[in-house]
Structure 1
Amino acid sequence: MSVVVAGVGMIPFATPRTSGTYDDMGAEAARRALADAGIGIGDVEQAYAGYVYADSAAGQTALYGLGPTGIPVVNVNNWCASGSTALWLGRQAILSGAADCVLVLGFEQMARGAIVPAYADRPDALWRFTEMLGDQEPEAPVAARFFGAAGQAYLDRYDADATLFAQIAVKARRHAHANPAAVFRDPVTVEEVLASPHVFGPLTRLQCCPPTCGAAAAVLCTEDFARARGLDGSVRIRAQAMTSDRADSFEGDAMALVGAGIARRAADTVYEDAGVSPEDIPVAELHDCFTANEVISYEALRLTPEGTAAGFVRDGQNTYGGRVVTNPSGGLLSKGHPLGATGLAQCTELVQQLRGRAGERQVEGATLALQHNLGLGSACVVTLYEAIRR
C-alpha cells in the first residue's frame, strides 16, 4: 500500500528577530497543508508534531489554533530530524491501518545565536559525541565543531581544497534566489564565503545554517481516502527508512560521527525497498546544516562515488543541467533551518517539484525525489517520493 501526500504547506521562514510565535506559525502551516489537500481538520484522525525548543504538548497548542478536535496528537523531539521523524510516524500509522488520514506538522521558534544545551543539571544527550571530539576550540559552537571536524576529515582523506565547501554555499544562495519562502536570497561568491568570519576548521560563517523560525506541514492518507474524496493522489511516499547510531559512529571517524554511516544505511534500505538506483534520482533535498555535510551526504547517499565530490561539484552535477539538482529550495543554508520544521519543509519542496509546481525552481520531468534529514544524537530519515502519472 502506498501513502499519498495529499497536501503540503509551509510559511516563509524568518530570523528570530522577525518571526511569529511557534503556535501561530504551526497553525498557519497546518491550515495551508489542509487547504492544499482540500480537506478540513475534522477529516484528520491523528496528528504528529515535530519540534525541539518548546515545552511538552506544544503540538496541541499549535493545532488547537484550528480547533480542539479530540484526535490524538503525538509530540516528537528528535533534534534536527524531528519533522521527518513525525513524517515517518505518520506514514507508519497509515501503513498499519491505524488511520486513513493524518496531519504531520513541524515548527520551531528559535533564539538568536548558536544552539546550546537546555539543561545544565543532567547528562547532555550528545555527551558521547563531544567526548569523542575532544576539547578542540571549546568556545566554538558545538554543532560547528562536529561538522567542521568532519569537513576537515573529508579534505584530509581526499586531498581536497576548502573551496569545495564554499561552492556549496554559492549554489545554495543561487537556488534560494528563486524561492520566496527562503530567508537568505542574495547571491554570494566563493571569495565572499571564504572571507566571512572563521567558525571552526574549514567552515566560515556563510557555510553555517543560521538560527531560523518557521513551520511546515503535510497531509498523509491512503489511496482509498484520496480517491473517495477526489484528492490529489499524484505524489506518494514510495519508500522510507529511519536509522540511529551503531558502534561504528563512535570509532574515531569524524564523518561517521556526524551521520555518514547512518545516512548510507537508510539510503541503501530505501533504494532496495523501492527497487531504484541512486542514478535514478533527479532531485534531492539534503541536510546541508553546514556546507561540509552536504558534500559528505552526496557520497553517503551514493549520489556520487566516495572521494569524487570535488569533481561532482566542479562539473555542476549537483545543480540544474547536472545529474541531480540538490536543494533546489536553497537548503538549510539559505532557506533556513527551523529545526522541527526542516523535514516537512523538505517534503513540501519535493512534493511541489513532483507536481510540477515549483515555478522557477522546477526540475523538469522529475518523477522521483529523495529527502535526507539528519539529527545528531542520532536520527536519520531518508524518504523517496514518487509522482504517479496517469
Structure 2
Amino acid sequence: MKLKALSIIICALPFGSFAQIQSSTFGSSDGSVTIVPEGIRSAKSDPSSKSSNVALGPFALHSNTTGDNNSANGTFSLYKNTMGQGNTANGAESLYDNISGNENTAFGYQALTSNISGKENTANGANSLFSNTLGSQNTANGYKALNLNIGGRYNVATGSNALYSNTSGNYNTALGHAALYNNITGDFNIAIGWSANNHLSLPGITNSIVIGANAIVDASNKIRLGDSNITAADIQVAWNVTSDRRWKEDIEPLSLGLNFINDLMPVSYHRKSNKNQDIEFGLIAQDLEETLKKYGLTEQQLGLLDKGTDGYYSVRYNDLIATLVKAVQEQQVIIDGQEQVNNEQDIRANKLTARLEKIESLFLEKEMVETESGAKD
C-alpha cells in the first residue's frame, strides 16, 4: 500500500514540485523511498545534488557526485557512478562499477556491472556485457550475451551466451543462442543461428558470414550457409561472380586443359547426410588431389581444392569451367586440324576421281574404235 500510495503521489505532483518539496518519506527506515529536491531516492542511496537523478534501492547511485540524468533501480545499481550521465540501470548491481560512462542502458542482474567508462551500451539480460569496462556502443540482448567483452565496440549480440567470449573484437553481429560464442578478437563477423560459427580453435576469425544452426567457417573471409546436414540449396536466380580485371593480378594463360579433364574421374554417389538418398554427380576431392599432383599442383596453390582445418576437403566447381573451356579450345584445334586434313584429302580424292573418269573415258573411246574396225573387216 505504501508503494501504491507513493505512485499516486508522484503522478499527482505538478511540474516543479520536486524543487518545492523539502522531504517526503514512505516506508521503513532501511527500505524507505524518499522524494527530495535532489530527486527520488531510497534508503542508503544518494542521487547527488543533481535534481535529475532517480535512485531506487539500497546503495543505488551511492557514490554519485556530479553525474545527472541517471536512473538506478535495484540494489547497488550504478553504485560507483560519480560523473556518468544519462545512464539507466535496472537490476541489482547493474552498472555497478560505472564511474564516467555515459548513456548506457542496463536491464538485468549484473548487466554491464563492470563498466567503468564505456558509453552508449545497451545490455538486456542478467550478466549481459558483464565484463565490459571501456567498450562502447555495444548491444547485448540475452543472458550472458557479450559476457566477457572488455573493450570491443559496435558489437550486437542477441541470444543467451551470444558473443560470450568476445573481449576486444569489433563490429560483430551474433543472432542466436551461443552464436559466435568463442570469438575473442575477430572483427566484422556475422553469425545467425543456434551455435552458429561457434568454433573453439578459431577465436580470431575476421569478416565471415555464417547462417544456420551449428554452421561454421574455418578461416577468415568465408561465407557458410548451413551445417553438414544440409542437402540442397535453392536460389531463384543465378549467382553473379565478380570478374573485373581491375580486381586481379598475375594473370596467366591456363595450362590445364584437355589432358587434365581426361584425367578426372567423375562419379555418381549418395551423400551420407541425405536421408532421401538422392543420386549426385561430381568429383571425389581426394581423387582430384591426386590428379592435381600429377600436374605438379597442390591445394595450397589452387582455390579449386580446399582442405579445412578439420581435415575435410571441398571443391570449388566453378573453377573447372575455365579448364573445360580450355579443353574445348584444345579439342577444337584438333578438330580444325582434322578438317584441314579431310579437306586436303577431299581435294586429292576429287582429283583422282577426275583422272579416273578421264581414263575410263579414254578406254571407252578405244573400245568403240576397235569395235568399229572389227565390223568393217
TM-score normalised to the size of structure 2? 0.17
Using CA pairs below 8 Å that are at least 6 residues apart, which structure has the higher relative contact order? 1
The structure whose Rg is larger is 2
Q: Kindly indicate which of the two structures has a greater share of residues assigned to helix.
A: 1
